[in-house]
Chain A
Amino acid sequence: MSALPLFRAESLTKRFGGFFALDGVDFNVSAGERVGLIGPNGSGKSTLVGCASGALRNDAGAVWFKDQRIDRLSPHQRVRAGLVRSFQLPRPFRGLTVVENLRVPLFFAGRQGREEDAIDEALEFVGLTARRKAMPQDLTQVDLRKLDLARATVAKPLLLFVDEAMAGLSHSEIDEILAVLMRMNDGGVAIVMIEHIMRAVTAFSQRLVVLVAGRKLADGDPDQVLANVEVQRAYLGE
């Protein structure tokens, strides 16, 4: 790899009391790449997303994004730089309609003007156009996930962390969300998918990273990583 990666975490460390949630993890993402991030519960996946997005402060190490060191920036500053996340559970603004929900990133993330067209495009993109005036409480689970992704789309990210966007969805709904993520990636957005649903992860990822107990156990081609004996023992069971 000749060019510098889009996103770079160097020996990222995060402690909660005496517990090392992340212990010297190196994690890179190139522009336009699709990365799957897997690991057993409590392995540090969400902590990594937290440190990358600014919800958590890392205790040691550094985070770089587009040649800029970002690990002391607040979350909204990282969003404006083009690093966006979605949440494990959908977090819509419940007092606002679908369209108004999208107006928030349009106004505040403000990376490419404030043209309302961006909202229509994002709704079209995720397939929520028919529900534009609905309140979040009237949306189904899968539509709420789509709203989360539409909100991220409006912010025009270069890199998107998708934290378990498919948990609890049906087989066909998972395919819908996967299709949206693939389309976003086609548009040039690098995506890191944190997911337990292996079918989705393997279908999606160009590269697979495995975290176990706050350390990186494997990083590389999905087939090779999943064939790794240590990974199988730690993650998929003996």
Chain B
Amino acid sequence: MNEPTIRLETRPEVSAFVEKVRARLSDLSDEEREELVGGLEADIDELVSDGGSVAELGDPRAYADELRAAAGVERRTSDEGGAGAGGFLRGRRSRRRVSERVDVLLDAGRRRWDELVDVPALRATWELLVTLRPVWWVLRAWVAMQLLDISTQGGDMPTPVPTLGGPLVGSLIWLVAIVVSVQIGRDRIWPGSGEARRTSARVVLLGLNTFAVLMMPVVLAQFPASGTWEYDDYVGVYDPEPGLMNQEQYVRNVYPYDSEGNPLTGVQLFDQNGNPLDVATFSEDLDGDGRTSVAYPWLNGERRLFNVFPLPEREQPAWRTETFPDAWTSANPPALPTPPLAVVPPAVLPLAETDADAAEGTEGEAEGSGDPSTGTRDADEPTGERAGAQRDSEKREGR
């Protein structure tokens, strides 16, 4: 032949497309396949020269299926050919028939879908979605990791990046999961094993993808409602900041006084739900001397109670804000801090006649629950003076 036959310059994207079509037809004999694919490069090449593009031909697999269907060539599974007669082959044959039927079903579904999206209104959207496939590969890896995370972490809140217990281990497995998912998507590893993948691989892949899609809402439901989850996750729920605010500052200690205005010790405080009052247990090193005041708990047997006030405090280096078990026996044991006010004005309930009894009752309870070794400072002013002071306080409140 003459010179032009040597110059077979096909556009690379055309060759790649035809290669994929050829791969999809790998169940055929070489002769049959070349019968179908022969001349295709020239045809598509000319389509491109004519102003068309390979992209408008759609998925090479669907293209190959259409070519095969129009040419009237049956799809064949890879284990066909060597099958002879004989009883022991019957089982294998019926399995083959099932897998063929499944293949036909999947192919029909695929063709139907291709036809469905091949309308002017959807074509551009579908092409965009096809180019976004890698996003789905990463997303399904994320779903799988979240499921793993949820099932191993129990009731813990999930984090957007799966941790799997340890930050480093989690990141590594997460990375591996992405690579595996992408390689499956690129048909490099099972079950994404190429154009001529077996029926089992197609079913497994379809099943896995469906599962990932179905699990997506389940995983997302693990996160608090959108918009606030970041805040809640890091500040409110996932890593709650303990404490009680007063005057825009954390309350670090509480100094109770009885109704007569005398300081009390060992008062257990609970909120309206019966939860122990929770205060921030260390102060900031505001004066910059490298030391900070750390609150120590009261005890009920082994239980550490941080809701019994005032809390004993101990000066510690600013970078050691935890409590030490042996602090009480150290040279610098925790001590009850001096109340900020030695005494405060007394307080009464509006019903003045019963307030003395009520005050005594309250005091008794406080004494009962207090630590006996510390004791409660008892007020022993005469009742007459107290009544005068009460009137004073009433006047002040009335202002």
The answer on A and B forming one complex is: no
